[in-house]
Amino acid sequence: MAKAACITGVTGQDGSFLAELLLAKGYTVYGLVRRLSSPNVANIRHLMDQVQLLDGDMTDQSSILTALKESRPDEIYNLAAQSFVQTSFRQPVLTADVDGLGLVRLLEAAKEVVHDARIYQASTSELFGLVKESPQNENTPFHPRSPYGVAKLFAYWACVNYREAYGMHVSNGILFNHESERRGLEFLTRKVTHGVAMIAKGKAKHIELGNLDAKRDWGYAPEYVDAMWRMLQQPKPDDYVIATGESHTVREFVKLAFREVGIKDWEKHVRTDAKHLRPAEVYTLCGDASKARRVLGWEAKTKLPELVKIMVEADLERVGG
Ligand code: NAP
Ligand code: G4F
């Protein structure tokens, strides 16, 4: 019989790529979707007749319970989150509710309904925050720097606790930044590639950014959802860092994006404004994914120049002539 998987956050960047991957593997795929006044299905429009959507919200215990009773999944991927770090400083309580308590609601529902289901938690390199060593691996101490990071740290430990206390198969994927043409426009990479496309097509003159010196380990999202799936195929639950192992500045990303459209004097098109700075910044991130390589057979393939190319080309197409 086909395996069933339930994805929270199915309308997001990762949820949509993961749904594609699982459908291709023959899974019956359920997706938890919250009610919005204007449905946000752009990323899964092409999958609407294949994914079974279940009403639910990570802030609402009974809807999560009902969704698991209806779907009875073999695998659960918890990708739902208020995922924008900047917003978490303005909405810390909501972020803690969705990203922190939401995971506990899901674990409680799973414990009751599908105790043996394998569960993936979308943990993050934001846990490392003010990094204690570089590159960061599964043993690097955590020091989150935002309400988002703090909520995700709570969720991380809740996963470890349900594993130890109840013998549940719960794994944390500590994923470093991963991007794609489906990335939300508020995130740095998409803001830049979309902005560059607008400038190249003569529809805008500038992009306004914050800290150009921040460093990130950016990979390509479709490869990262494959790592999630691999974690749940392991006989034992565990925690894994998923990253490229390369770290680049925001400035380098911007320069590469402008290069894609043949603009060399990129500084003329970039302004900085303090409103895009964060109350506490994560200055630098670089992941060591050697455990994932060894145990899961997973390795990042797409490096930064290729990632930038994919994203700029997609935005040029979208922005049009
Ligand atoms: P994303 O595009 O922002 O997607 C977030 C998803 O969560 C959307 O489907 C959203 O639904 C859903 N959601 C938000 N609040 C919800 C609620 N109260 N109830 C139910 N669903 C809710 O994020 P992503 O980039 O795909 O990331 C997926 C997960 O990985 C997130 O947990 C994120 O924190 C984590 N993560 C991401 C990265 C990265 O670089 N992308 C790295 C490490 C960890 P709507 O469509 O209704 O808004
Ligand atoms: O693209 P960002 O907003 O992503 P950030 O904060 O690294 O978080 C993303 O990755 C995490 C994994 O490490 C995820 F957990 C999280 O859910 C999310 O997907 O910002 C990247 C960097 C930051 O240092 C930021 O200060 O870019 C810098 N930046 C500079 N100017 C900017 C801007 N970021 C944004 N969003 N907008 C700017 O104008």
Q: What is the pLDDT of residues 241-253, one digit of tens each?
A: 999 999 999 999 9
Residue with tokens 């790529």: 17
The pLDDT score that the predictor gives to residue 204 is 98
- Please tell me the distance between residue 8's alpha carbon and the centre of ligand 1 in angstroms: 8
Residue with tokens 């990323």: 43
- Please tell me the distance between residue 238's alpha carbon and the centre of ligand 1 in angstroms: 22
Q: What is the pLDDT of residues 210-259, one digit of tens each?
A: 999 999 999 999 999 999 999 999 999 999 999 999 999 999 999 999 99
Residue 281 has a CB neighbour count (10 Å cut-off) of 16
Could you tell me if the CB of 83 is within 6 A of ligand 2? Answer: yes
What are the angstrom distances between the C-alpha of 159 and each of 9, 167, 168, 171?
18, 11, 9, 7
Please report which ligand is nearest the Cα atom of 144.
Answer: 2
Does residue 321 carry a pLDDT above 70? no
CA-based nearest residue to 285, from 193, 191, 149, 156: 149
Amino acid (1-letter code) at residue 8 = T
Could you tell me if the CB of 172 is within 6 A of ligand 1? Answer: no
Q: Token digits for 17?
A: 């790529």
Helices (H), 59-209: 61-71, 85-90, 92-95, 102-113, 147-166, 188-200
Q: In b/e form, how buried is each residue of 222-234, taking b as 16+ CB within 10 angstroms?
A: bbbbebbbbbbee
Is 281 noted as a catalytic residue in this protein?
no
Mean pLDDT, rounded, for 155-181: 98
Mean pLDDT, rounded, for 282-299: 98
Q: What is the pLDDT of residues 26-81, one digit of tens each?
A: 999 999 999 999 989 999 999 999 999 999 999 999 999 999 999 999 999 999 99
The pLDDT score that the predictor gives to residue 19 is 98
Mean pLDDT, rounded, for 112-127: 98
pLDDT band at 1 (very low <50, low <70, confident <90, very high): confident
Mean pLDDT, rounded, for 299-303: 98
Q: What is the average pLDDT value for the chain, to the nearest integer?
A: 98
End-to-end CA distance of the chain: 48
User: Measured between alpha carbons, how far is 208 from 128 in angstroms, rounded to an integer?
Assistant: 27
User: Measured between alpha carbons, how far is 272 from 260 in angstroms, rounded to an integer?
Assistant: 21
Could you tell me if the CB of 124 is within 6 A of ligand 2? Answer: yes
Domains in the chain, start-ordered, CATH in brackets?
A: 4-178+221-242 (3.40.50.720), 184-216+247-285+303-319 (3.90.25.10)
- Please tell me the distance between residue 262's alpha carbon and the centre of ligand 1 in angstroms: 33
- Length of the chain equals 321
Could you tell me if the CB of 92 is within 6 A of ligand 2? Answer: no
Q: What is the pLDDT of residues 181-210, one digit of tens each?
A: 999 999 999 999 999 999 999 999 999 999
